[in-house]
Amino acid sequence: LPGLHILAIIFALEVSVGKTNTVMALNNSDVLLPCTFTTCIGFQDLVFTWYFNSTELIYHGKIKSKASEPFLVGRNPRVEFVGSTTGKDNNISIVLKNVEFSDAGKYTCHVKNPKEKNAQHNATIFLTVVQKMVETDNTLTLIIVGVVGGLIGLLILFMLIKRVVLFIIKKTQDGK
């Protein structure tokens, strides 16, 4: 059956970005964009490409075979390959350096395997870039704690003074 043959090819190559396809990064930080692929029959001269918002090519690599690491064909200077294809997983993850707000968007990891009659598969990650929220939250909490702490301190001080004053008044009244 020719139909079954086609199905086998389609399902042989799988590309994955892990459990969640959304990544959050702090402005000006480096962010890991994970991607792995699996293939049932192995690969030869496999080509993988990372795209930003479907059109902009940001990393292009080629892998001769399972025994070799990928070699770079072309890349955006801010993108660094951090994966490995000689280990257990065929990891083709990249790191995007000094993330800016304009980097937020869709990142697609695309793989093409000539050994599987040029079977292709891709997976997508959505990147959101945030301002350093954590730090401002902390300062706000510290201010609140400081103010509340200060108020409690003032209250205790006020009660102590009141006691001392009352004690002095009582003493002077007793003395009369």
CA gap 71, 82 in Å, rounded: 12
**Which has the higher per-residue pLDDT, 3 or 34?**
34
Q: Which of 3-12, 47-56, 113-122 has the lowest mean pLDDT?
A: 3-12
Q: Single out the residue of 135, 68, 128 nearest to residue 96, CA to CA.
A: 128
* Residue 137 Cα to chain centre, angstroms: 20
Per the model's pLDDT, the better-predicted residue between 3 and 116 turns out to be: 116
* Same domain flag for 99 and 143: no
User: Does residue 170 sit within a domain?
Assistant: yes
The mean pLDDT of 1-14, rounded to a whole number, is 57
Measured on CA atoms in the order 47, 94, 86, 73, is the torsion positive or negative?
A: positive
Alpha-carbon dihedral 165, 169, 175, 176, rounded to 10 degrees = 160
Residue 4 has pLDDT above 60, yes or no: no
Residue 139, pLDDT above cutoff 90: no
The reply to whether 125 and 59 lie within a common domain is yes
Do 148 and 119 have their domain in common?
Answer: no
Residues 155 and 124 reside in one and the same domain: no
In a domain, 7, yes or no: no
Do 40 and 123 share a structural domain?
A: yes
Q: pLDDT confidence of 93, banded at 50, 70, 90?
A: very high
Plot region of 19 (φ>0 → left; ψ -120 to 50 → alpha; else → beta): alpha
Higher pLDDT, 174 or 32: 32
Mean pLDDT of 66-89: 92
User: Does 140 lie in the same domain as 126?
Assistant: no
Split into its structural domains, the chain has a count of 2
Q: Is the pLDDT assigned to residue 145 strictly greater than 70?
A: no
Do 107 and 122 sit in the same domain of this protein? yes
Give the range among 79-83, 88-92, 96-100, 122-126 with minimum mean pLDDT.
Answer: 88-92
Confidence (pTM): 0.68
Which domain covers residue 89, as residue numbers? 14-130
Are residue 21 and residue 67 in the same domain, yes or no?
Answer: yes
